[in-house]
A and B are shown apart, each in its own frame.
Chain A
Amino acid sequence: MELNIVRYILIFPLLGFLVNGLVGKRLGNKAVGWIANSAVFISFALVVYIFIQLLSMAPGSRLITDTVYTWINSGSLTIDFKLMIDPLTIVMLLVVTGVGFLIHIYSIGYMHGDRSYSRFFAYLNLFMFSMLLLVLSSNIVLMFVGWEGVGLCSYLLIGFWYEKDSAANAGKKAFITNRVGDYGFLLGLFLLASAFASKGILTLDFTTMAAHISLISPQILTIVGILLFVGATGKSAQLPLYVWLPDAMEGPTPVSALIHAATMVTAGVYMIARMNFLYVLAPEALEVVAIVGGLTALYAATIGLVQNDIKRVLAYSTISQLGYMFVGVGVGAFSAGIFHLMTHAFFKALLFLGAGSVIHALSGEQDMRKMGGLKNKIPVTHAVFLAAALAISGIPGLSGFFSKDSILAAAYASGHTVIWLLGFITALLTAFYIFRLIYMTFYGESRLDKHAAEHVHESPKVMTVPLIILAVLSVIGGYIGVPQLLGNLVGWHNSDIFVNFLAPVFRTMPKHEMPVSTESWLMIGSIAMAILGVFFAWYVYIKSKMRPAEHAAESLPGVYRLLLNKYYVDEVYNAIIIKPLLWMSENFLWKIFDVRVVDGTVNGSAQVTQWASTKLRKIQTGDFQVYVMLFLIGVISVLAYFVLR
């Protein structure tokens, strides 16, 4: 169905960006906040309206399109500015505009008093526009516009406080690391386009590609799948390109919540789900996705165990949770991956905003070693934080439990036992590091600075209300995807609403059935891991009041330092790629090759010419007698030649 209001989902945030960006300074902060928030709210309302429309359509035919204009045309290549909404899109749209709107409201309070208030909201609206474009695109090139657009906003917002060198560096690092991934993405796109072109169908449109995907050989699809995934590892911070995300915490906290937790970083997962028609025919590529996802999940969780900066713990947690999502899509359980994307958006946005509320309360303190005992001083923040922590730990009944469990179950059922094990261990670590955070921040003795202690205060309503809404979502959000196993217990048929809703979008992999008993045991296992993790954290940080950091530093100094320094990956990249490249460019390519060799040759040949002409010039003495003599010598020589020949 063609519906021309879809484009307005994009137009309002774009207008918000333009107005606030161009004249925001003159409008005053109040107007800026209103404009930015209304723009996102209108988009959200439109999305809800379209969602209702979509629900009223028959499940198999839920597709709404909006062709705006032809963007690029060259030869037989036509790329339309065309938007598309199917069940997958609408889930993403609801998450992006819904969570996005809550974070916009929260930002009014959080950014209150910042010198660049209007610039902040302008960027935030531009981000919403780009993210919505990414999600709405009906072809992969337009998607790439949104893809790089969100990267730009991420860059601008990480470097928002650009006077801080660390923020400026982090912004640049994010953009460039993403460009490395995008390079892979583009190559994948080119290979896919040329593969289609060789079949006479030059198309980059999702629907058309899906219809003809079987024409392309599986080998090419595998390479395409892996190349596109390289792009995803950049955007969604997976091994080996995750390095930018921890540094991205330099940005204002609402940005960390919106961009670096709930929405942008999930773009890679969305992309793979969107390209599911390709990935199901490229099982090796999916295998790569699942393995990288599983390894990243565990890897980032181990780093998260020892970080002391509250936002850095959450950053590594995000990387780890994104790893779960990739495991989900990687084992072919696309809906499970998207389900976790959604629940994660709720609880991780909440964790970040909650952390923001803590930081706000402590006048900017981020080091958990200087927190503690905040439970009663900021009760609302504590309560919502606890809800989010329980959700991410996978405590039964909360949203994270359902989504994480469906990923792990799918991994096990499809025979990926090793990957399942990685996820299983990660579940333990997750519960541990998040409750370590909770205990260090909210419980135990206060270790606050004097200055901070005097000013501790709960955040204003404009910040706590969004927190409460997100907390409710984190708690109940999982009930739209209750595994049938549990549904059956209470006699609820088709309890997995989420999977059923998305089913028409996804091509299915060969089904793996699992005996009910196995599924039950897996579920009990994950629950045990979650509880165990919480218990360990409690035991270590509350019961025995251990100082595990010092403990570990003494007993396992090597491992501890390795983790604390994040496996030295930044240092390794710096030493083997960045430094040599810069050194070679400056000292060899420029100063020796370009200046001495290339330009030296040019100037050298000029000098030779000059030298030769100064020598030759000596012949032209201007002396008539010499000329006559030379002339005579010439004549005689010629004559002699002819005579003596």
Chain B
Amino acid sequence: MGFKENILSIIIFLPLLGVLLGAFIPKENKSAIKWFTLIVSLVEFIVSLFLVIHFDSSSTGMQFTEKYAWIPVYHIQYQLGIDGLSLLLILLTTFLTPLVLLGSWTYIKKREKEYYLWFLVLETGMIGVFASLDLILFYVFWEAMLIPMYIIIGVWGGPRRIYAAVKFFIYTMFGSLLMLVAIIYLYFAYGSQTGTYTFDLLKLYNLSLPMSTQIWLFAAFALSFAIKVPIFPFHTWLPDAHVEAPTGGSVILAGVLLKMGTYGYMRLAMPLFPIAANAFLPYLAVLAIIGIIYGALVAMMQPDIKKLVAYSSVSHLGFVILGLMALNIESVDGAVLQMINHGLSTGALFMLVGMLYERRHTRELSEFGGIAKTMPVFATIFMVVTLSSIGLPGLNGFVGEFLILLGSFFANPVYAVLAGTGVILGAVYMLRTYQKVFWGKITNKANEDLHDLSAREIIVMIPILIMIVWIGVYPKPFLNIIHNASESYIQYVKPQTAQQGQADYQPSMAPQMPERIK
């Protein structure tokens, strides 16, 4: 055991350790709870930076690996390891958690102790998902993480919180169970082919199954992840969950939990079953494009700001899925970067909407108007985040969207032509929202004496704003981290394509790919 050898375990379980210690703080001492959990999450963030410092972006394999026997009878291992994809998602998690805790400071007024501790439990679950390389371990974290989120929505949510929480839980659970069956099938299939039984993801990558089997296994994984992302038409739990969830819950839900779906495609569904993946690929791309346009159109007409942002997530994540399906380095790099970008900008949007909600206790667009005058700082920050969300060049969203669209154009120009309309529609619904909330005259008396953001609220937003600008202006360090993960994803999914003669997802009018990708 050593710090460096077990760094991933430390990062996973540090928040849980915080929960155990925090449990001893009397629940009446609210400020001690808040400060304690905040400090734990900050320490966690600092420790996670260690990963960046020691991450070797030139290496193609998994790094910081750990492997211990866990349940030897069933060959279940405690196996961890990360590549650039997981690294960035872990960092996103450790980055957003303290902001969410600080952001909830005065908003949560009942059962504070449990609220803050559940967020730390959630953090452990989320990081566990991104770091696991054993499928059972992955599944355990995957399911474990559902519980805190279920409770956060169900206890601290809005009026219809029970409906939303149950819907979220059962819908996700339904997908997960199919995945569990598929995982067990994989275990036996690998055993019968090689004689050794394992849940080791890296070994299972080498398993070659016939198309007829792959189709079913892929479908099980893909459905589970499609619900999580969510891909159209599996998205309807999302607006409900977001509208009812407390602000912190929405931020983590949009920021990190949705990424588990896209992560699942990239880490599991696509590379484990490349033949099936290639057969499904055009359909998934089409669903992604429908999601982009449909999500934007429906978002455009929402009267509730939170619902609007929720539908915009359907649109944004459509871009991520499209990038993953286009299967070239530009599009996949863009997709991974866009996962982070969406976490930042949509997370920020939910925080901002929460700040508005705390002041007015409503999220109806028609209740607002003209508040740029009373809340200039808030209006400015909201504008920057809006611009990030609509992909203004110079901010983070553009780099991701640009690479995704460029890559999908290489794969199939029609994809980019259709998906590109999302760029217009995104501007329509975001600017319409901005105008309705901030511009015009103040017509509603209740908006006349709103106080601008407090120092604490500004402190919560500043780190996100810095990241929004940083990734937009200088995305290179991030792209360097992502690069090898994208390469190996493409290698896992693509070569089989050629062997099986399924390469025809690229119509003949698409420009030939040069020898650039090697």
The chain A residues found within 8 Å of chain B, CB to CB, are 69-77, 141, 144-145, 147-149, 152, 155, 159, 162-163, 165, 168-169, 171-172, 175-176, 179-180, 182-183, 186-187, 190-191, 193-195, 197-200, 202, 581-582, 584-586, 589-590, 594, 598-599, 602-603, 606
Contact = CB atoms under 8 A, between A and B. Distances in A.
Interface stretch (B214-222, B255-263, B432-440): B432-440
Contact of A183 (B170, B420, B473): B420
B55 to A, nearest CB: 17
B474 A71 contact: yes
The majority secondary structure among interface residues of chain A is helix
Q: Is the interface of B mostly helix, strand, loop or mixed?
A: helix
Contact of B439 (A152, A163, A195): A163
Contact of A162 (B294, B421, B440, B483): B440
A195 B511 contact: yes
Interface in B381-409: 387, 392-394, 398-399, 402-403, 405-406, 409
B301 A182 contact: no
A157 to B, nearest CB: 13
B72 interface: no
Contact of A594 (B236, B399, B410, B480): B236
Given A74-B333, A141-B402, A202-B514, A585 B300 contact: yes
A171 B440 CA distance: 12
28 contacts: A72-B479, A73-B479, A74-B403, A74-B483, A148-B393, A152-B392, A163-B370, A163-B441, A168-B439, A171-B435, A172-B432, A179-B423, A183-B421, A186-B402, A187-B416, A190-B405, A191-B409, A194-B413, A197-B410, A200-B516, A589-B297, A589-B301, A594-B236, A598-B233, A598-B236, A602-B171, A602-B236, A606-B167
A72 B403 contact: yes
Contacts of B330: 74-75, 77
Contacts of A190: 405-406, 409, 413, 416
Contacts of B514: 197-200, 202
A77 B428 CA distance: 30
Contacts of B171: 602
Interface string B501-518: 000000000111111110
Contacts of A145: 393-394, 398
Contacts of A159: 435, 439
B431 A72 contact: no
Contact of B329 (A75, A148, A169): A75
Contacts of A194: 406, 409-410, 413, 510-511
Contacts of A148: 392-394, 398
A75 B333 CA distance: 9
A75 B328 contact: yes
Given A590-B302, A594-B236, A72 B409 contact: no
A159 B439 CA distance: 9
A384 to B, nearest CB: 35
Contacts of A199: 514
B413 A191 contact: yes
B453 interface: no
B221 to A, nearest CB: 20
B512 A198 contact: yes
The interface size bin for chain B is 35 or more
A163 B440 contact: yes
B52 interface: no
B424 interface: yes
Given A145-B394, A590-B302, A74 B329 contact: yes
A74 B431 contact: no
B475 interface: yes
Given A148-B392, A176-B428, A194-B511, A186 B297 contact: no
A162 B393 CA distance: 24
Contact of A76 (B302, B416, B516): B516
B360 interface: no
B225 interface: no
Nearest to A198: B511
A342 to B, nearest CB: 27
A144 B298 contact: no
A191 B511 CA distance: 9
A589 B420 CA distance: 20
Nearest to A197: B514
A162 B383 CA distance: 13
Contacts of A155: 431
Contact of A71 (B423, B476, B512): B476
A581 B410 CA distance: 30
B334 interface: yes
Given A75-B328, A168-B439, A585 B301 contact: yes
Nearest to B490: A75
Contacts of B517: 75
B423 A183 contact: yes
In the complex, the 6 A-B pairs of residues with the closest C-beta atoms, listed nearest first: A75-B329, A599-B236, A198-B511, A190-B409, A145-B393, A586-B301
Given A72-B399, A162-B372, A590 B298 contact: yes
A202 B511 CA distance: 12
A606 B300 CA distance: 29
Nearest to A142: B393
Contacts of A195: 511
Contacts of B403: 72, 74
Nearest to A152: B392
B365 interface: no
Given A186-B402, A190-B406, 15 more contacts: A71-B474, A74-B483, A75-B328, A75-B330, A148-B392, A152-B392, A176-B431, A186-B423, A190-B416, A198-B514, A590-B302, A594-B298, A598-B235, A602-B167, A602-B236
B90 to A, nearest CB: 22
A198 B438 CA distance: 47
A155 B514 CA distance: 40
A149 B393 CA distance: 7
